[in-house]
Amino acid sequence: MHAVVDEMLEDGMKVLAVAYRPVTLQALTADDERDLILLGYLVFFDAPKASAASAIDKLNALHVHSKVLTGDQKSVAVSICRRLGIDTTAVLTGEALDQLTDNELPVCVERCTVFAELSPNRKCASYRSCRITATRSVS
């Protein structure tokens, strides 16, 4: 089953597992998320807008480098970026970004085009890092 889910993720689909467990508690905690009974999967394909690929092509023609910051899983982000013609050679996850030192961060932000699995706070911090790096590049 994992291989099927992985294949769907690599095709750019978002996959949610649906499961349950009978409980008698009024309030649940993360510890209660165990011994669940799998009901199935919900699969979504959030296709890019029809105009997205054309917009990326126009930006590339103007030598504007695009960067993608998303909360999507890495494999989903890579699949969608490839469909749009965005370079996916260098991809970083939020977890990998959190491991970088202050000296490594600007180098990785400059080099990477896709940042995936980002929390909302990490998206804001990454955006600020991209702006700082872009300012240094232009100066």
Determine the pLDDT at residue 132: 60
On the question of pLDDT at 71 being above 70, the answer is yes
pLDDT at 7 over 80: yes
Give the Cα separation of 64 and 51 in Å (integer): 17
Percentage of residues in the chain with pLDDT exceeding 90? 37
Here the contacts of 56-61 (C-beta below 8 Å, separation 24 or greater) are 56/84, 56/85, 56/86, 57/85, 60/85
**How much is the pLDDT for 136?**
46
81-134 per-position pLDDT tens digit:
998 999 999 999 999 988 988 888 888 888 899 999 998 887 777 777 766 655
Of 79 and 129, which is predicted with more confidence?
79
> What are the φ/ψ torsions at residue 40 (nearest 5 degrees)?
160, -165
Task: Return the pLDDT at 108.
Answer: 85
More confidently predicted of 106 and 78: 78
pTM: 0.73
Handedness of CA 115, 120, 123, 125 (dihedral sign): negative
- Six token digits for residue 108: 């990785």
